[in-house]
Amino acid sequence: MEKNIKFEQNTPLWDNSLSIEERLDYLTGAMTLEEKIHCLTTGCPDIPRLGIRATYMGGEAAHGIEARHDQAFNKGEPEPTTAFTQPIGMSASFDRELIRECGRAVGEEARALYTRNGGGGLCRWAPTIDMERDPRWGRTEESYGEDPYLTGEMAGAYIRGMRGEDPFYIRCGATLKHFYANNVEKDRIKISSSVDRRNKNEYYLKPFKKAIMEGGAEAVMTSYNEINGIPAIVNDEVRHVLKGTYGLPGHVVCDGGDFSQTVNDHHFYQTHGETLANGLKAGVDCFTDDGEIVYAAAREALDNGWITEKDIDESVRNSFRTRIRLGMFDKEGDCPYQNMGEEYINNEEHKQLARKMADEAVVLLKNENEILPFDENTVKNVAVVGPLSDVWYKDWYCGIPPYEVTVLDGIREAFPNAKISHETGLSEIRIRLADQTSDKCYVGLDENTRLKLVIKEQAETFILNDWGCGSMTLVAKSNGRFVTLEEDTDIIKADKKEAFGWFVRELWNLKWEKSSFTLESWNKKQVIVDKDGHFSICVDNPPARFEIEIVKDGKTAAEKTAKEADHVIAVIGCNPVINSKEEVDRTTIVLPTEQEELVKRVAAVNPNTIVALISNYPYAIGELEKNVPAILLSASGSQELGHGIADVLTGKAAAAGRLNMTWYRSDEDLPDMNDYDIIQGKRTYQYFDREVLYPFGYGLTYAAFSYEKMQIKKERGCIKVSCFIKNTGERSADEIVQLYVHKKGSRVQRPIRQLVGFERIHDIQPKETRKVTFMVQLWELEYYDVISERMILEDGTYQFMAGASSQDIRLEQSIEIDGTHAGKRNPFQATAADCYDAYDHMFLHRGINGSSCVIPGCAGDDPDEMKEQPVSGKLIYHDFVFSKKPLRLNITLKVLEPVKVTVTGKNVATVTAEPVDCYRMLEMDLPENFIETGKPETIQIQVEGKCKISKFVFA
């Protein structure tokens, strides 16, 4: 082992007087090609002669620093760090300043861990800003909601907190996830998201623009999915949009393992060398994968001439630009964030920040007859019931907090003089073989906690928790451990402290048939009993059948406890790794049946039942809402979760959180998961035009507010909107004032309402009036014009609306804005097929010369697969103005099966075509009276049969 290695610091890399680009010039000139290749992952090796120590960039920080060290590549003892509320909950606070402070705490703890351990972790993979257009997405907890403005603003504040105030040095860099249209977990490593130009520019890219240009994000991580058929790792929008248009200052990494997946799962290239070459050219700098695979791929790409050393230099410059700004080569000690120590980890200030965020993240969904807040001095008897009442669950990107406060803990502390009783509502059961007369027919545990058949006197009592969707957990009451299918074996044991893991092996499905059931494991294997009486899984032998004996009926016990109390707090909701997590989308927004039934039964015996819903995503709770007078919502994740619920229950904290997602009434309100078109698919509050359970921006307070005196005027580059709000209630309270806009008389379908401003106004006293002012940048009002193929500010009337939610509008006023008048289409210039105004049964894919093509079928379809029945679809283009009558239409397309193309103007023309191996121009003769001249006309192109349409032009 080498000792006393000197890391040279007397080089231009360490010279703070030089510009960052001069230092990088020196670095790329001094490094060998071999050294550069080894820097193409998220790490770099020791290079002593240049003073470079091995470091890495990465690590999670969604709602605190994740330092669990419990994964295969990162084994070791956990390092406790402050755990804030899940991002979906932090965003519900609508409080920029508070989330910025939480980001600061995260940055400080990242620095302190770097001081402790060295190595890296100073440019974290957070925040996640994928747009949450569908509440079934498995990673809903990680992001900031369905609105791009809110997401950009809240994520930007978190980033600024992480980053720090220094104009050059970074306390902790933020890496935005995931670029982009990454909102489906099923088949995510190979599926293609179909995203048209308007949706892309108005919705999916908008939070990235704000988080980079306004928030100061340092880096970006690409997504797993394809975007219109192009894997995100080789999507050239990384270079042209993120780096070119938005000016991303640092580097871009691919998602974990996605480098290999480009060949193995997308089947986009034949070799990893092609992936690396095209990834570099697209603008990706660091490949998050096995270093040996990346090294071999780089060598292959160089040997074949697909890249040069100059391409690698660019990547090295980008990743080391971040390292320099993190102060890793700061010889003079100019970086103000160096040597931050243990005093920054889990300190009292961070604890108080976590509690304040837990308070502000709570959303009051219902408060009938002002049953809340409780007076802690008069409450005498409280029953706390429900499966989430005395548990704290970590999520996949959560760290290990220094302590956890459950809801039961918080309520006990909030009501020290009251009697607090508790029941989970979960049943305790014994399990026995069905139709058996043998004495050994009950399920028990052997000395190694393996499940085996025993006599009744030795039977184990299990606590059954039904999470819905065929996901259940069993906990052995004798040892408090979860029943699990042991990893890499067929052994079933009760030895896990928690249901947790990338694969949650503690999940079971009781598949009932009449009065007995079979038991299915997490991976859909059937449970059998072997010849020794032990339980295992098998795919060949017939499954064992079981029956249940109820030892304790959980709902009946909860009813008894509730009946004897003055008030009931029913705590229900989700486990962050069951039914919805990375790689697992929800199949329904229905609340677990057992939980809904528990609340109904408890509320039937005690009408003073308050529901505390701990959930990271919306549920369809319309029926439950009818049964209780009050409902509180909080996301999970915070070490102060229980205090947050209790503080709002008692009024110690203001109830003022707001929903950052639409809560729909049922699954029928949701289109297909793979449909990324929020405009035509009528997704989110911007376009959904039917009744909802709770609208975006909704949340009640403990005081009423009036809105008055709206004023609006133009200022340079902005629209200034102001109003006054007055607390007309009897309690001090917070109010979240929201500003929306609607463009009247637009050429295209624009949002019903679009959020363009919000402010959380704190501690407004009874009868007090506050003025609220918004400065709306004009670019926030732009839309993508498919005729000019750019974002434009459309001239005309804009209606501004101020209120307490997207549907609770209190004031509105319109203003005329000078902008651009949308032009007309020239039929004698080529029109890109994807520049449509509307479509039916079509999806997008990357086609000829890298441009997009449009294909009949559904989003998620294979672009080249033929189906038994020919597919059909149509495209609609408005505002063509013909200066003369056209003689023909030339369509550039690739025909995969016999097709029929019908073009409709004032009249109709039809042509058929046979399959060809390449794109070609299909000529269609048009009737003399096909279209009128001199005024705007609509053209419709309908196709029957699989083909890829690239563009068309009239002649």
Q: What is the CATH number of the domain that holds 778?
A: 2.60.40.10
Beta strand 526-529 pairing with 535-538: antiparallel
pLDDT for res 886? 97
- Asked if residue 352 is part of any domain, the answer here is no
Same domain, 566 and 637: yes
The full DSSP string for 398-459 is ----S----HHHHHHHH-TTSEEEEE---EEEEEEETT--SS--EEEE-TT-BEEEE-GGGP
Round to whole Å and give the CA distance between 40 and 59.
Answer: 17
Closest by Cα among 216, 222, 250 to 100: 216
924-934: average pLDDT: 95
Handedness of CA 194, 827, 898, 945 (dihedral sign): positive
Same domain, 641 and 752: no
Structural domain ending residue among the three candidates 476, 509, 544? 544
- At 452-481, the pLDDT tens digits run 999 999 999 999 999 999 999 999 999 999
- At 681-732, the pLDDT tens digits run 999 999 999 999 999 999 999 999 999 999 999 999 999 999 999 999 999 9
pLDDT for res 137? 98
The full DSSP string for 450-515 is BEEEE-GGGPPPEEEEE-STT-EEEEETTTTEEEEE-TTSSBEEEEESSS-SSS-TT-EEEEEETT
Beta strands in 635-732 (DSSP E): 705-715, 718-727
Round to whole Å and give the CA distance between 771 and 759.
Answer: 11
Same domain, 88 and 130: yes
Round to whole Å and give the CA distance between 255 and 226.
Answer: 13
User: Which distant-in-sequence residues (6+ apart) come within 8 Å of 349 by Cβ?
Assistant: 105
Round to whole Å and give the CA distance between 433 and 456.
Answer: 11
How does 150-178 read in b/e, with b if 16+ C-beta sit within 10 Å?
A: bbbbbbbbbbbbbbbeeeebbbbbbbbbb
- Report which secondary-structure segment, H or E, holds 117: helix 96-117
- Asked if residue 675 is part of any domain, the answer here is no
- At 555-579, the pLDDT tens digits run 999 999 999 999 999 999 999 999 9
Q: Could you tell me the two tokens for 781?
A: 């009002």
Round to whole Å and give the CA distance between 163 and 250.
Answer: 13
- Asked if residue 181 is part of any domain, the answer here is yes
Give the structural domain span for 388.
357-425+555-659
With both helix axes pointing from N to C terminus, report the angle between 641-650 and 348-360 in degrees, rounded to the nearest 10: 50
Q: What is the CATH number of the domain that holds 441?
A: 2.80.10.50
Q: Which amino acid is at 529?
A: V
Asked whether 434 and 516 are in contact (CB, 8 A), the reply is: yes
| Domain count for the chain | 5
780-794: average pLDDT: 98
Q: Could you tell me the two tokens for 339?
A: 């040597």
Backbone φ, ψ for residue 131 (5° rounding): -75, 130
Same domain, 123 and 227: yes
Report residue 105 CA to chain centroid gap.
22
Same domain, 863 and 780: no
Same domain, 749 and 867: no
pLDDT for res 788? 97
Where on the phi/psi map is residue 514: left (φ > 0), alpha (ψ -120 to 50), or beta? left
Mean pLDDT over the full length of the chain: 96
Round to whole Å and give the CA distance between 716 and 698.
Answer: 32
Q: What is the CATH number of the domain that holds 878?
A: 2.60.120.260
Same domain, 534 and 562: no
Cis upstream peptide for 180 (omega within 30°) = yes
Q: Could you tell me the two tokens for 134?
A: 């569908």
pLDDT for res 849? 67
- Asked if residue 883 is part of any domain, the answer here is yes
Tokens 């969707």 found at: 469
Round to whole Å and give the CA distance between 369 and 89.
Answer: 26
Same domain, 729 and 619: no
Structural domain ending residue among the three candidates 342, 372, 399? 342
User: Which distant-in-sequence residues (6+ apart) come within 8 Å of 91 by Cβ?
Assistant: 99, 143, 144, 145, 150, 151, 154, 660
Q: Residue 954: count other Cβ atoms within 10 Å of its Cβ.
A: 25
Same domain, 761 and 859: no
- Asked if residue 676 is part of any domain, the answer here is no
Q: Is the pTM of this model over 0.85?
A: yes
- Asked if residue 599 is part of any domain, the answer here is yes
Q: How far is CA 734 from CA 363, 699, 729, in A?
A: 12, 11, 12
- At 627-685, the pLDDT tens digits run 999 999 999 999 999 999 999 999 999 999 999 999 999 999 999 999 999 999 999 99
pLDDT band for 2, please (50, 70, 90 cuts): low
pLDDT for res 1? 40
Q: How far is CA 261 from CA 223, 234, 269, 287, in A?
A: 12, 12, 10, 12
Round to whole Å and give the CA distance between 278 and 306.
Answer: 8
DSSP state of 314: H
- Asked if residue 631 is part of any domain, the answer here is yes
Round to whole Å and give the CA distance between 555 and 426.
Answer: 7
- At 163-195, the pLDDT tens digits run 999 999 999 999 999 999 999 999 999 999 999
4-33: average pLDDT: 96
pLDDT for res 596? 98
Round to whole Å and give the CA distance between 231 and 282.
Answer: 11
Please work out, in degrees rounded to the nearest 5, the angle formed at the alpha carbon of residue 439 by the alpha carbons of 433 and 444: 60
User: Which distant-in-sequence residues (6+ apart) come within 8 Å of 933 by Cβ?
Assistant: 882, 883, 884, 885
Give the side-chain half-sphere CA count within 13 A for 627: 19
Q: What is the CATH number of the domain that holds 227?
A: 3.20.20.300
pLDDT for res 867? 87
Same domain, 475 and 500: yes
Asked whether 446 and 533 are in contact (CB, 8 A), the reply is: no
pLDDT band for 868, please (50, 70, 90 cuts): confident
pLDDT for res 734? 98
- At 841-865, the pLDDT tens digits run 999 999 766 778 999 999 889 999 9
Same domain, 404 and 530: no
- Specify the 3-state DSSP secondary structure of 729: coil
Structural domain ending residue among the three candidates 342, 372, 393? 342
- Specify the 3-state DSSP secondary structure of 669: helix
Beta bridge partners of 947: 895
Round to whole Å and give the CA distance between 793 and 822.
Answer: 9
Q: What is the CATH number of the domain that holds 380?
A: 3.40.50.1700
Percentage above 70 pLDDT, the chain: 99
pLDDT band for 530, please (50, 70, 90 cuts): very high
pLDDT for res 573? 98
- At 490-525, the pLDDT tens digits run 999 999 999 999 999 999 999 999 999 999 999 999
The full DSSP string for 27-45 is HHHHS-HHHHHTTSSSEE-
pLDDT for res 710? 98
- Asked if residue 890 is part of any domain, the answer here is yes
pLDDT band for 57, please (50, 70, 90 cuts): very high
For 233-250, the three-class secondary structure string (H helix, E strand, C coil) is: HHCCHHHHHHHHHCCCCC
Same domain, 755 and 717: yes
